[in-house]
Amino acid sequence: MPLDLSPGLPRPFLDVAASALGRPWRERCGDPGQQALAATMTQGYGLPDLLARVLVGRGVRPTEAEAYLNPRLRDLMPDPAILVDMEAAVDRLARAVRAREAVAIFGDYDVDGASSAALLASYLRALDVPVRIHIPDRITEGYGPNVGAVTALREEGAGLLVCVDCGTAGHEPLAAAATLGLDVIVLDHHGAPEELPTTRALVNPNRLDDLSGLGHLCAAGVVFMTLVALARRLRGEGAFAARNEPRLTDFLDLVALATVADVVPLVGLNRAFVVQGLAVMRGRGRPGLAALLDAAGLAEPPEAWHLGFLLGPRINAGGRIGDSGLGARLLTTADAAEARRIAEELDRLNRERQAIEALAVAEAEAEMDGRLARDPERPVLVAASPEWHPGIVGLIAARLKERFGRPAFAFAVKPDGSAVGSGRSVAGADLGGAVRAAVEAGLALKGGGHAMAAGVTLAPGAIAAFEDGLTRDLADPVGRARAADALLIDGTVSAGGATAELVRLIQRAGPFGQGAPEPVLALPRHRLADAGVVGNGHVRARLVSGDGQAIGGIAFRVAQGPLGAALLGGIGRSFHVAGTLSCDRWRGAERAQIRICDLAACG
């Protein structure tokens, strides 16, 4: 394909106009202004050139570099009172603490919900407050508070109900709670409708009247800020004069886990949560997380990506296809033997989930291949089946989004024809907003979420109309996002230069995740010496530079796609290879390897 030299566009990086995945490559820090800022960081602040370019490519200015590389809670934590309703929430929680009142915590069945519930419960129990956690069953109860569960919690003696990671749109069940005499606090982060349910306090940085600028927090981040405010109130009342005050920093492992697993932007306060939370987690002081790290086979100190790819899926497995309360119980137990038992059960459920998911994803991908062959510009993909477990539809949607580069929804169709679905989006297309618009237009019974992920419930026969509505709302933003899609490269390295020391240098700019993408490096003109399929559709490769130095590489879940075909069919040829570097540790030795995300034939 000829180079894309359209006016206003920079020359493609390494002249790659169309890679194996059909994308142009661009230099992330290619603007002259960005390059000048990187030079300032290097010359004026003594940072290595690659690290400076990585920082500038993520919007960091020279004067901000030190704070970005060393994020600290005491520097980044705002006064919790800037969140709307925070004072009212603290008033009611402090009253519950003083009276040792029974508190019911209602959480979501994902990692953020389990972590949020465990965080709040652990703190209150440390103050001798009786706490009952309820995580709803995905199949029988669905998302968010429901009248049956609220009634049962009241009958068990709860005087205060705290909904975490849910409740912002729970009008009917929260009205029922009030009728039953339950006070309700909501600590959430999901997109909020104009009309909010009646509660004692609804703390959510994404409610329309909240101007805190903290909309990037996950629910566990909101809960942690609430506990900071509560501790301050209790301290002022002298509650810790005769007893030890719980150390809030000991709970940051839960906040870090939720922040990474819920894929919220790793910017500002969230960066400090993850950096300091990982430090707590490496101390292995929480029996549940220590047991889960062992069950996942992780012998090395956990990094941010381990939370999203190893721990998160195992905790989620309980809510997807097993007991939804397992995650919260794992994160709150102090019994090491009980922690091992739950962790082993979650690991087993995760393997079962992987097998179920693989069959469903293959079916969904085959269906979408056919649809896109007929309509290549289709902006949104919607797949549905009565055979799919409702607990895996979000995973199916994520795989479709990854494979086809556009928003995707997957639905489990019930026997009565109604459907429960989950969607994943691409940057620039607000899926949660589109779902809320569908609810307001009567195209969906209920639903919500945030820009990158959403859930929805449809009436029988409503899938086609829902898909039409999504297509209308998202066609323009998806078109713009796909037109601007390019692989952004942070720099180049050779096989010989890709060392463990270089990996550690890059990791200084971490943690990486949503909003702070992991640096992508290119290996120019490396010969593909070997490639083969390993594991569950992964492709392992060996790359050799012109001077004979070699580096190992792996591309995850690509064996059946164009990247896998290019690798498996390209042995002996030379390519420009793009990916992220990591350290492979084996028998005490460290060596760099590349996680391949794209490649292009050399011109």
- Indicate the average pLDDT of the chain: 94
3-state secondary structure of 401: helix
DSSP letter string, 200-242: SEEE-TTSTT--SS-TT--HHHHHHHHHHHHHHHHHHTTTTSS
CATH of 75-248, one of 3.90.1640.30, 3.90.1310.10, 3.40.50.1820, 3.40.190.10: 3.90.1640.30
Name 461's Cβ contacts closer than 8 Å, sequence gap at least 6.
417
CB 520 within 8 A of CB 489: yes
- What average pLDDT score do residues 345-368 get? 94
- Give me the pLDDT at residue 191, please: 86
Closest CA relative to residue 401, chosen from 365, 373, 357, 449: 365
The pLDDT assigned to 9 comes to 57
Q: Which residues pair with 458 in a beta bridge?
A: 419
Q: How confident is the model over 169-190, as pLDDT tens digits?
A: 899 999 999 999 999 999 999 9
Question: Residues 11-68: pLDDT tens digits?
Answer: 899 999 999 999 999 999 989 999 999 999 999 989 999 999 999 999 999 999 999 9
Alpha carbon 380 to its chain centroid, in Å, reads 21
Exposed (0-12), middle (13-18) or buried (19+): which is 601, by Cβ within 10 Å?
Answer: middle
Domain residue spans in the chain?
Answer: 13-29+490-601, 75-248, 377-483
Per CATH, domain 377-483 is 3.10.310.30: yes
Contact at 8 Å (CB) between 339 and 288? yes
Phi-psi region of 341 (alpha: psi -120 to 50; beta: other; left: phi over 0): alpha
Tokens of 452: 């990158």
pLDDT at 2 over 50: no
Average pLDDT (224-249) is 96
| pLDDT tens digit sequence for 161-173 | 999 999 998 999 9
Cα–Cα distance between 370 and 376 in angstroms, integer?
10
SS3 538: strand
Which of 95-99, 333-337, 536-540 bottoms out in mean pLDDT, i.e. has the lowest?
536-540
What is the distance between the alpha carbons of residues 252 and 184, in angstroms, rounded to a whole number? 25
| pTM score | 0.90
Beta-carbon count within 10 A of 493 CB: 21
Tokens representing 306 are 């381990």
Q: What is the pLDDT of residue 585?
A: 76
Of 530, 524, 577, 573, nearest to 547 (Cα)?
Answer: 524
Architecture of domain 13-29+490-601: Beta Barrel (2.40)
Determine the pLDDT at residue 603.
Answer: 66
Q: From CA 259, how far away is CA 122, in angstroms rounded? A: 18
Please check the confidence at residue 483 and state whether its pLDDT lies above 90: no
Q: How far is CA 426 from CA 108, 453, 484, in A?
A: 24, 9, 12
Q: Do domains 13-29+490-601 and 75-248 have the same CATH topology?
A: no
pLDDT at residue 397 greater than cutoff 80: yes
pLDDT at 10 over 80: no
> Residue 299's pLDDT band (boundaries 50, 70, 90)?
confident
pLDDT digits (tens, 9 = 90+) for 400-440: 999 899 999 999 999 999 999 999 999 889 998 999 899 99
Helices 252-261 & 111-126 angle (0-180, nearest 10): 170
Residue 108 in this model has a pLDDT that exceeds 90: yes
